[in-house]
Amino acid sequence: MPARCPGLWLLLLVSALCTSTGCRNKTDVLEIELRTREQLYRDLHDDYKRSESRITALQMEVEALRKGSKITPEQAAATYGLKRIVLGRSTGGVDNDGIPGDEALQVVVEPRDYDDHSIKAPGVLQISVMEITPQGVKTPLSTWDISGEALRQSWKQGLLSTGYSVTLPWKHLPVQEQLRVVVRFVTPDQRRYEADRDIKVRLVPGAEMKRADPPNMPPPSMPPLPETGPTLLPAGRTTTAPHTAGWRPVEGERPVTIGRPTPLP
């Protein structure tokens, strides 16, 4: 009987391993199926949201056209089909002058529709850039306003991104590598879309010296203005009162005439 014990224990161990392996395999299959169904549910939910938003956009477009708004069907489709804007991958510093450092900023804005496709939606662009210090403090650096006509001419279609691409020389050279670009896109019907992105640029040598502000000089002090109160003369005396900058009425009823200037003795 004792000789049979090792074989029995070995049989029990093999059975337990097979049972645990089978349970693990079933668990893995169930987890894979649950993940697949969850992803399918998310995809269907996203399709439903896009379809619902698209129907709403088309209803707004039809309503605007029925009211006789001064907007073409193409422009209406582009405007009312706009969902969001995205800053393209090419957004960042530009160095084309052969001198170390980025002398300009390139901003690529991609208007997206409800199917997340880039569309040439009309509008104007407002761009602002802030510097980010190592302590995380953000300070304004430069701002630009791009008109609708200039924005329309900047449309480009490429492999990496398709959208409006504008190159903007710095108004003030950055002295921090980390920058935040904030873009606001305003459509003709005054709807606003915003997007922001943190970028890293190469600093121009000597940027701090070129950015050095003149010392804050106090404004020149102005002498106090003399009092303009009335001048009182003693009674019974005809001596001339001392000169003051104040105005006083002319005494007497004799009219005043303006003659030729005469030199003083």
The string of pLDDT tens digits covering residues 8-25 is: 666 666 666 556 565 666
pLDDT of residue 80: 57
60, 111: one domain: no
What DSSP designation does 159 have? S
**204 assigned to some structural domain:** yes
Please report the pLDDT score of residue 57 as a whole number.
67
Question: What DSSP string describes 56-74?
Answer: HHHHHHHHHHHTT-S--HH
Same domain, 30 and 99: no
| In a shared domain, residues 94 and 173 | yes
Cβ proximity of 202 and 179 under 8 Å: no
Write the CB contacts of 129 (distance below 8 Å, at least 6 apart in sequence): 105, 140, 141, 142, 143, 174, 179, 180, 181, 182
Tell the residue number behind the tokens 């009987």, with chain if given: 1
Q: Quote the CA–CA distance of 61 and 75 in Å, as a whole number.
A: 10
- Give the count of domains, the chain: 2
Q: Are residues 186 and 116 in the same domain?
A: yes
Q: 182 and 96: one domain? A: yes
For 20, the 3-state DSSP assignment is: helix
Query: What per-residue confidence (pLDDT) applies to 185?
Result: 94
Question: Which CATH number fits the domain that encloses residue 147?
Answer: 2.60.40.10
With respect to residue 155, please indicate whether it lies within any of the assigned structural domains: yes
Per-residue pLDDT of the chain (265 residues; tens, 9 = 90+): 444 455 566 666 666 655 656 566 667 777 788 888 888 887 787 777 767 766 766 666 666 666 665 555 445 555 557 889 999 988 999 888 778 888 899 999 999 887 788 888 889 999 999 999 999 899 999 999 999 999 989 998 877 778 999 999 999 889 999 999 999 999 888 889 999 999 999 998 887 777 655 444 455 455 555 555 555 555 555 545 455 545 555 555 566 667 777 777 6
Q: 140 and 190 in one domain?
A: yes
Name the region of 76 (left: φ>0; alpha: ψ -120 to 50; beta: rest).
alpha
With respect to residue 76, please indicate whether it lies within any of the assigned structural domains. Answer: no
Domain that residue 59 falls in: 18-70
State the pLDDT at residue 115: 77
Does residue 13 belong to any structural domain of this protein?
no
> Using CA atoms, how far apart are residues 163 and 165, in angstroms rounded to an integer?
6
Domain contains 255: no
Give the per-residue pLDDT at 146.
Answer: 93
Residue-level pLDDT at 85 = 93
Query: Which pLDDT does position 214 carry in this prediction?
Result: 44
pLDDT of residue 127: 95
The SS3 assignment for 15 reads helix
Angle at which helices 73-80 and 5-66 pack, to 10 degrees?
A: 140
In a domain, residue 33? The reply is yes
Type of residue numbered 207: A
118 vs 86, 104, 148, 164, 178, CA distance in Å? 9, 25, 17, 10, 28
